[in-house]
A and B are shown apart, each in its own frame.
Chain A
Amino acid sequence: MRIAVPVSAPSKEALMDEKFGRAQWFLIYDSKSGRYEVVENPGFEASSGAGSAAVQTLRDRSVDVLLAGNIGPKAKDLLAMAGIKAYEDYSGRGEEVIRQFLSAQGGQ
């Protein structure tokens, strides 16, 4: 499983970015390899369609799950279209958020 969190700096200790579509980076955790990587969101300064660029990036990186603070209605539709499960109301540091999610899932 690959899990993404929008973050406000390119590091796994960085705080989550509230605005999913406008976050500059995504922290991605691969539960199989146990590795973290950071990718840039090309939509972060887009004047139009930031959400679609963000969802495209996640999909291109084969992300399965997105953990975020809040996600707009259009972005939600796109995430569903892309087959990415999205969960809202998370906050904290990137790595913590991912751990929280995993432990709630039964410690995968």
Chain B
Amino acid sequence: MAVRIAVAGGKGGTGKTTLAVGLARAFLSTGEKVSLLDLDVEEPNSHLFLSDLREVNRRQVISSLPAVITEHCVACGRCKEFCHFNAIVVFDKATVLEEFCHRCGGCVLVCPERAIVEKEVVIGEVIKAVGRGLELVSGWLEVGQANPGPVIREVKAEQVAGDWVVLDCPPGSGCAFVESVEGADLLLGVVEDTPFGAHDFRKVVQVARNAGMRIFAVINRYGMGNGDGVKVCEEEEIEILAKVPFSEAAHRALAQGGDPYSVSPDLKGILDWIRDALLERLER
């Protein structure tokens, strides 16, 4: 059985993608098969660090949304009364508020005038690329679409070959995050040593704990914060696998699309260390 590692940061910009890509490469270097899933579908960026991969497959994610045929609507209000999510208002005619709609399809069924129909819309794409023994599956949410859930599910449903599956999770601890970590064996938190970083990581921990996941942490930009990130890990009894100091040189190289595993010997050493620690903890 493949081991699924969710890499999550809580707040954005913690270096989560760097770690996810770097860790994938570290596993790869020992001859393991690795798949990387980019689930940060609103801003997928794992591919930026893996520009030499070759695209092998691309498919659209379709979702259906109710649409009102206004000429047929008699403003009876049944659809609005039915909708449990207040996703329909009827002023002169019914209007579906897409951002609240959960796509249950109920309004389509209850409209006596058949004035609501399911309309299919492309809400995103799933792209698979391979190269250097690595397989990358990225999800892309169309601009203007509010609900990343279906795209995340499609990425996770993709058949992957890796013995290690690294999940680059979206920031935050909301629905998109919950959807992303579901089914993961362990969570690797990338925590900034700041009050914000600590606060957001605590919420991530709550979700992962409830899902029964093992949790480990990596403190990023160690030495640049006030110690709150480390404190949270201590309070929550989460083992810190590594404290990564900030390096101006590595930061610059990464910003130019450098591969995290090759930009600096220090960073490579840390990534190998994290990989070995995980192997040991999982008794693999």
Contacts and interface: CB of A to CB of B under 8 A. Distances in A.
B68 to A, nearest CB: 14
Contacts, number: 39
B87 A49 contact: yes
Given A48-B100, A74-B99, A53 B91 contact: no
Interface string A29-68: 0000000000000010011111011011001000000000
A53 B87 CA distance: 9
Contact of B90 (A47, A50, A56): A56
B95 A53 contact: no
B100 to A, nearest CB: 4
A86 interface: no
A104 interface: no
A20 to B, nearest CB: 14
A85 to B, nearest CB: 15
A21 B87 CA distance: 14
Contacts of A53: 86
Dominant secondary structure at the B interface: loop
Given A56-B80, A74-B99, A49 B85 contact: yes
A91 B85 CA distance: 30
Q: Which of B80, B86, B88 has the most CB of A within 10 A?
A: B86
B97 interface: yes
Given A74-B99, A81-B95, A48 B89 contact: no
A56 B94 CA distance: 11
Contacts of A55: 89
Contact of A43 (B86, B91, B102): B86
A50 B100 CA distance: 10
A50 B86 contact: yes
Contact of B87 (A48, A81, A82, A83): A48
Query: Considering residues B80, B85, B89, B99, which has the most beta carbons from chain A within 10 angstroms of its beta carbon?
Result: B89
A78 interface: yes
A105 B58 CA distance: 60
Most chain A beta-carbon contacts within 10 A, residue among B87, B95, B97: B97
A47 B80 CA distance: 15
Given A56-B80, A74-B99, A48 B86 contact: yes
Contacts of B102: 48
Contacts of A78: 89, 97
A82 B89 contact: yes
A47 B88 CA distance: 14
A53 B86 CA distance: 6
B244 to A, nearest CB: 39
28 contacts: A43-B86, A46-B86, A47-B85, A48-B84, A48-B86, A48-B100, A48-B102, A49-B85, A49-B86, A49-B87, A49-B97, A49-B100, A52-B86, A52-B87, A52-B88, A52-B89, A52-B97, A52-B100, A55-B89, A56-B89, A56-B90, A59-B89, A59-B91, A74-B99, A81-B89, A81-B95, A82-B89, A83-B91
Interface of A: 43, 46-50, 52-53, 55-56, 59, 74, 78, 81-83
Given A48-B102, A52-B97, 7 more contacts: A48-B86, A49-B87, A49-B97, A50-B86, A52-B88, A52-B100, A74-B99
